């Protein structure tokens, strides 16, 4: 198996940036517990009658579908189970009433998501009422406690796998803040007690229970009625827990999506601020290029995976080697040997993870001081108490004084100078847009910076735009303004297409999906008269009035160039005709000819002329059909 075998998503620069890709420490098992009571099917917004009424149930199905799609791309080893409660039908191993474990064929109840699950779950709503059905869960007179049942089923589903290597979670989606509101008296107290005991037992087994409460604009979800106790929140935490019921349901979808992802830290670092003050920070990879999944080689007849065997062969003797432990570098035509240990020692230039060197004003950080995606750092008090306090103080000083910190990040593989830029928290209606903390930006060294702009110096002063031309350009900027532009709103067309195709093929569909390329310019907007006029004016200002005409003439002159190319080809074919190629090839005389002469044949027949002599000869032979 290798990552991105065709090198689709890499360009020339990153050959072995494995350390950029987050190592996924352990896998995760999640049970989605979805409330399916009739309350979930009532419109979520007190919207106008003519609008399409969206329900909380719909929101959740959307959210989970989205999350499954991301998961199958990025974290396909994680396992999920989807489970409804407050249903008419029951389907679970324990035969408990009101709980329905949703699944598709050829899949365990708790298993990795597959194409069919995603496809069928995304339209579960259409057949939900017929196949599964909804009902009120806990009602007076009934002795069933559906929430209790649901927790029990979820806990049973999560029985497999060790808690040490797998993080297990139960996510409850509901808009009912008072599930036991329908009953009273001793029965209520008893039910609450047993349910909370059940949740506590689950937690003792290492499962974490989280709640994703849904609320309406007119009616906030009241955590303190019941759920705070269920998931074990105290004091202030309750307030933070409830997402603000925003104006728009999409915002809530956003918030849910964010909360559904488990925060995974990359590493814990010690950050030495001075010789005495050393704090603890965690790093997170908030931005990393997503590459398409791995490939495996299959036998094309049986479609069974192939086993790859690697062997080391000595180039001089042809002997089979065990994995060689030594490396060498040619230096002054001499092989200098290193042991793996020596190499790792020489790479270790710092004894600290992260060492503060000083501070600089933000404008010292240039646009070209960049090499790879930044890493986010956030303090932690887990091992060193008081780290957060130091970090918060530094963070606020740096923000206020407009400075970034320069530090040395001494990883043993890739020690780098880094800029730590303080990030202020940004909150919008869809929740936290930018988290508070610092971004660690990897800086280039002097040998990493090139000066391409100085390659082509003009002999005199370089032409500069006049004020008039700049004014016209400003006008253009104003016209083609992307208002409310925000990064990372654009889907990666290559990746979308990749997975679109895989999904279609996995499900055996004939139709290839059509993926909209969001990165194309807005043709319509560009064609607006105001925009066209601004472009034309700018063009006239910098290129002159008659530019198109001049270009056409230049193109005609270029025609001359293509004539020239044709002439070369003609000359080559004439020269090439002087030889009897078939004869030469038969007698094995090709290798006696010069490369120049050989190339005349290639040019005359329109073949590529690249490569070494051997390659050229074999190309000629192939073309001759020998």
Partner 1 sequence: MARNKEGLVLLLDVGPSMHRALQEIENVCTTLVRKKLVFHRSDEVGVVLFGTKETHNDLARELGGYKHVLVKHDIKVVDEETKDALENLPRGTAPGDFLDAIVVGLDMLIKRFGDTKAKQRLCLITDAQHLLRDPPQGTKEDQVDTIADQMKKHDIKMDCIVFREAGVQHNSVMDENDRLLYHFRDRSVAKVVQVDTPTALLGALKTRNVLPVTIFRGDLEVNSTFKIKVWAYKKTSEEKFPTLKKYSDKAPPSDQFASHEVKVDYEYKSILEPDTVVPPDQRIKGYLYGPQVVPISSAEWEAVKFKPEKGVKLLGFADRSSVPRSYFMKDVNSFVPEPGNTKAIVAVSALARAMQDMNKVAILRCVWRQNQANVAFGVLTPNISSVNNVPDSFYFNILPFAEDVRDFPFRSFSSLPPSSQPTEEQQEAADNLVKMLDLAPPGREEILRPDFTPNPMLERFYSYLDLKSKQPDANPPPLHSCLRRITEPDPDVINYRAPLIQNLGKAFDLKENPKRKKARTQERLAYAGPDDQAKKSEDDAGKAMAIDDQAKDAEKARAIEVLFPSTEKVGKIGDVNPVKDFEAMLAERSSSTWVQKAMEEMKKYTTALIENSPQGDYYEKALECFVALRKACIIEQEPEEYNQFVTKLYERLKKVDDVVKFFQLLSSKNVLLICKEEAPDSDVTEEMARSFFLKTEISSE
Q: Give the residue from 296, 425, 412 showing the smallest Cα distance to 343.
A: 412
Query: Which residue from 178, 219, 220, 425 is in contact with partner 1, where contact means CB under 8 A?
Result: 425
Under the binding rule (CB under 8 A), the answer on residue 309 touching partner 1 is yes
Q: Which two tokens stand for residue 134?
A: 């909804």
Residue keyed to tokens 């959210």:
63
Would you say 48 or 483 has its CB closer to partner 1? 483
CB of 55 to partner 1, least distance (A): 25
Torsion over CA of 141, 144, 146 and 148, rounded to 10 degrees? 120
Which residues in 366-385 contact partner 1 (CB under 8 A)?
367-374, 376, 378, 381-385
Under the binding rule (CB under 8 A), the answer on residue 389 touching partner 1 is yes
Pick the piece of the chain touching partner 1 (CB under 8 A) from 128-136, 172-180, 311-319, 583-591: 311-319
Would you say 528 or 626 has its CB closer to partner 1? 528
The backbone torsions φ and ψ at residue 339, rounded to the nearest 5 degrees and listed phi first, read -85, 160
Would you say 48 or 341 has its CB closer to partner 1? 341
Q: Is residue 45 packed enough to be buried (19+ CB in 10 Å), middle (13-18) or exposed (0-12)?
A: middle
Which residues in 148-177 contact partner 1 (CB under 8 A)?
none
Q: Specify which residues 219 forms β-bridges with.
A: 216
Strand 426-428 and strand 431-434: the pairing is: antiparallel
**Residue 485 CA neighbour count, 13 Å, CB half:** 6
CB of 426 to partner 1, least distance (A): 9
Pick the piece of the chain touching partner 1 (CB under 8 A) from 42-50, 173-181, 269-277, 616-624: 269-277
CB of 218 to partner 1, least distance (A): 26
Q: Three-state secondary structure along 256-275?
A: HHHHHCCCCEEEEEEEECCC
Under the binding rule (CB under 8 A), the answer on residue 322 touching partner 1 is no
Q: Which two tokens stand for residue 625?
A: 């059909």
> Going residue by residue from 96 to 115, which x/- string records binding to partner 1, judged by CB under 8 A?
---------------xxxxx
Query: Which residue from 218, 234, 333, 583 is in contact with partner 1, where contact means CB under 8 A?
Result: 333
Would you say 66 or 222 has its CB closer to partner 1? 66
Instruction: Give whole-number Cα distances, 473 to 433, 466, 477, 547, in Å.
Output: 32, 11, 6, 17
Q: How far apart are CA 266 and CA 623, in angstroms?
A: 54
Q: How far apart are CA 191 and CA 187, in angstroms?
A: 6
Quick check: 40 and 175 in contact, CB under 8 A?
yes
Under the binding rule (CB under 8 A), the answer on residue 142 touching partner 1 is no
Under the binding rule (CB under 8 A), the answer on residue 91 touching partner 1 is no
Which residues in 391-410 contact partner 1 (CB under 8 A)?
392-398, 400-401, 403, 405-406, 408, 410
CB of 326 to partner 1, least distance (A): 4
Quick check: 180 and 196 in contact, CB under 8 A?
no
Under the binding rule (CB under 8 A), the answer on residue 130 touching partner 1 is no
Pick the piece of the chain touching partner 1 (CB under 8 A) from 8-16, 28-36, 97-105, 557-565: 8-16
CB of 507 to partner 1, least distance (A): 9
CB of 380 to partner 1, least distance (A): 10
Would you say 142 or 496 has its CB closer to partner 1? 496
Residues 6+ apart with CB under 8 A from 374: 286, 287, 439, 440, 441, 442
Q: How far apart are CA 80 and CA 77, in angstroms?
A: 10
Under the binding rule (CB under 8 A), the answer on residue 290 touching partner 1 is yes
Under the binding rule (CB under 8 A), the answer on residue 51 touching partner 1 is no
Residues 6+ apart with CB under 8 A from 175: 35, 39, 40, 44, 56, 213, 214, 215, 216, 221
Quick check: 155 and 201 in contact, CB under 8 A?
yes
Under the binding rule (CB under 8 A), the answer on residue 95 touching partner 1 is no
Under the binding rule (CB under 8 A), the answer on residue 46 touching partner 1 is no
CB of 94 to partner 1, least distance (A): 26
Under the binding rule (CB under 8 A), the answer on residue 238 touching partner 1 is no
Q: Give the residue from 35, 90, 100, 92 showing the smallest Cα distance to 61.
A: 35
Which residues in 430-459 contact partner 1 (CB under 8 A)?
431-432, 434-437, 439, 441, 443-459
Helix axes 613-624, 595-604, angle to 10 degrees: 40
Query: Which residue from 67, 87, 145, 387 is in contact with partner 1, where contact means CB under 8 A?
Result: 387
Which residues in 491-530 contact partner 1 (CB under 8 A)?
491-495, 497-499, 501-503, 505-506, 512, 515, 517, 519-522, 525-527
Pick the piece of the chain touching partner 1 (CB under 8 A) from 39-47, 88-96, 389-397, 568-576: 389-397
Which residues in 532-591 contact partner 1 (CB under 8 A)?
532, 535-536, 538-539, 541-544, 547-548
């Amino acid at each position: 198996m290798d990552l991105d075998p065709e090198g689709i998503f890499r360009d020339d620069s990153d050959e072995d940036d494995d350390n950029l890709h987050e190592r996924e420490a352990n896998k995760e098992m999640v049970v989605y517990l979805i409330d399916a009571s009739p309350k979930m099917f009532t419109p979520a917004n007190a919207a106008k009658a003519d609008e399409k009424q969206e329900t909380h149930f719909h929101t959740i199905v959307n959210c989970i579908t989205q999350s499954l799609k991301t998961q199958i791309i990025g974290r396909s080893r994680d396992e999920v189970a989807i489970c409804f409660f407050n249903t008419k039908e029951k389907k679970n191993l324990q035969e408990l009433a009101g709980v329905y474990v949703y699944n598709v064929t050829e899949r365990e109840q708790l298993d990795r998501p597959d194409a069919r699950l995603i496809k069928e779950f995304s339209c579960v709503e259409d057949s939900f009422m017929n196949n599964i059905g909804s009902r009120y869960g806990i009602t007076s007179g009934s002795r069933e406690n559906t929430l209790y049942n649901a927790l029990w089923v979820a806990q049973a589903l999560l029985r497999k796998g060790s808690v040490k290597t797998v993080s297990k979670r139960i996510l409850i989606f509901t808009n009912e803040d008072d599930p036991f509101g329908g009953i009273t008296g001793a029965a209520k107290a008893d039910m609450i007690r047993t349910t909370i005991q059940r949740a506590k037992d689950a937690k003792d087994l290492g499962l974490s229970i989280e709640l994703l409460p849904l609320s309406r604009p007119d009616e906030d979800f009241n955590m303190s009625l019941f759920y705070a106790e269920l998931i074990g929140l105290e004091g202030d935490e309750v307030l933070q827990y409830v997402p603000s019921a925003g104006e728009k349901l999409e915002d809530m979808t956003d918030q849910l999506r964010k909360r559904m992802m488990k925060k995974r830290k990359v590493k814990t670092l010690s950050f030495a601020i001075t010789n005495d003050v050393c704090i603890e920070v965690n790093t997170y990879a908030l931005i990393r290029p997503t590459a398409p999944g791995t490939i495996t080689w299959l036998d094309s007849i049986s479609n069974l995976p192939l086993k790859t065997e690697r062997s080391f062969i000595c180039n001089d003797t042809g002997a089979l080697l065990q994995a060689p432990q030594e490396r060498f570098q040619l230096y002054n035509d001499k092989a200098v040997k290193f042991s793996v240990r020596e190499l790792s020692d020489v790479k270790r230039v710092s004894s600290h993870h992260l060492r503060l060197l000083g501070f600089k004003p933000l404008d010292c950080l240039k646009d070209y001081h960049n090499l790879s995606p930044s890493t986010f750092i956030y303090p932690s008090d887990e091992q060193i108490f008081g780290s957060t306090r130091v970090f918060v103080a530094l963070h606020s000083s740096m923000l206020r004084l407009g400075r970034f910190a320069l530090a040395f990040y001494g990883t043993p593989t890739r020690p780098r100078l880094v800029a730590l830029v303080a990030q202020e928290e940004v909150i919008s209606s869809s929740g936290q847009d930018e988290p508070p903390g610092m971004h660690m930006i990897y800086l280039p060294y002097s040998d990493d910076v090139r000066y391409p702009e100085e390659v082509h110096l003009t002999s005199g002063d370089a032409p500069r735009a006049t004020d008039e031309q700049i004014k016209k350009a400003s006008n253009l900027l104003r016209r083609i303004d992307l208002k409310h532009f925000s990064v990372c709103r654009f889907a990666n067309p290559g990746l979308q297409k990749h997975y679109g195709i895989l999904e279609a093929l996995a499900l055996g569909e004939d139709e290839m999906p059509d993926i909209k390329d969001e990165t194309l310019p807005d043709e319509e907007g560009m064609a607006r008269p105001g925009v066209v006029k601004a472009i034309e004016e700018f063009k006239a200002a910098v290129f002159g009035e008659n530019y198109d005409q001049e270009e056409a003439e230049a193109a005609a002159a270029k025609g001359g160039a293509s004539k020239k190319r044709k002439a070369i080809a003609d000359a080559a074919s004439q020269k090439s005709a002087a030889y009897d190629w078939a004869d030469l090839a038969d007698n094995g005389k090709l290798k006696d000819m010069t490369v120049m002469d050989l190339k005349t044949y290639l040019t005359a027949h329109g073949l590529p002329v690249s490569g070494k002599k051997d390659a050229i000869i074999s190309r000629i032979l192939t073309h001759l059909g020998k």
